[in-house]
């Protein structure tokens, strides 16, 4: 079986990068990832930029509706995800608009955080 683990948290209480609290937490993330790797169970995963970087797109009556910010409808449930490589938000949006259920569902586009 394959599983996806979706991580939710209150950004307001998440420590900022560069603080000792976050440094300590990063060590824990690193340890967890290593344990998963060691067990041969790690298939993939990424950290996301905060929700403020999200763009939400939907198509209704043939018209594209773009909004700033994360998906906020509680009635709709997460049904899947694609990890894509695109030059910029416009290209990511073009792909999002081709997703079959965008005409009745919602696609939230979140940039992946890159660590140097």
Partner 1 sequence: MPLRPSPVDHAFRTEWAPLVATLVRETRSLELAEDAVSEAFAEASVRWRTDGPPNKPGAWLLTTARRKAIDRIRRDARFAERIPALAEAAERPQTEPQRFGDDQLALIAGCVHPALNPEAQVALTLRYVCGLTTEQIAHSFLVPTETMKKRLTRAKKKIEAAGVPFAVPESDQLPDRLEAICGVVYAVFTEGYASASGPELIRGSLCDEAIWLSELLCELAPDDAEVHALAGLVLLTDSRRWARTDAQGLPILLEDQDRSKWDGARIERGLVHLARSAELPGVGPYRLMGSIAGLHARSTSVDDTPWARIAGLYGALLTLNDSPVLRLNQAAAMAWSEGAQVGLAMMDELAGLLSDYPYLHSSRAALLAKLGRTDEASAAYDRAIELSSNDAEIRWMRSRRDDLTASG
> Least distance to partner 1 from the beta carbon of 4, Å?
23
H, E, C per residue of 44-73 = CCCCECCHHHCEEEEEECCEEEEEECCCCC
Burial of 70 by CB count in 10 Å (0-12 exposed, 13-18 middle, 19+ buried)?
A: middle
Q: Which CB sits closer to partner 1, 66 or 101?
A: 66
Residues of the shown chain interacting with partner 1 in the complex, contacts defined by CB under 8 A: 49-50, 52-55, 66-69, 86-90, 92-93, 109, 111, 116
Q: Which CB sits closer to partner 1, 93 or 102?
A: 93
> Least distance to partner 1 from the beta carbon of 36, Å?
26
């Amino acid at each position: 079986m394959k599983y996806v683990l979706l991580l939710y948290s209150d950004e307001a209480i998440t420590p900022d990068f560069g603080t000792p609290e976050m440094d300590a937490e990063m060590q824990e993330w690193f340890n967890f990832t290593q344990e998963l790797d060691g067990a041969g169970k790690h298939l993939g995963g990424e950290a996301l930029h905060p929700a403020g970087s999200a763009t939400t797109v939907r198509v209704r009556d043939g018209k594209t509706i773009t909004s700033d910010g994360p998906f906020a409808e509680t009635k709709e449930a997460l049904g899947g995800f694609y990890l894509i490589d695109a030059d910029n938000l416009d290209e990511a949006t073009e792909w999002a608009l081709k997703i079959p259920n965008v005409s009745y569902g919602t696609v939230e586009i979140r940039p992946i955080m890159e660590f140097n």
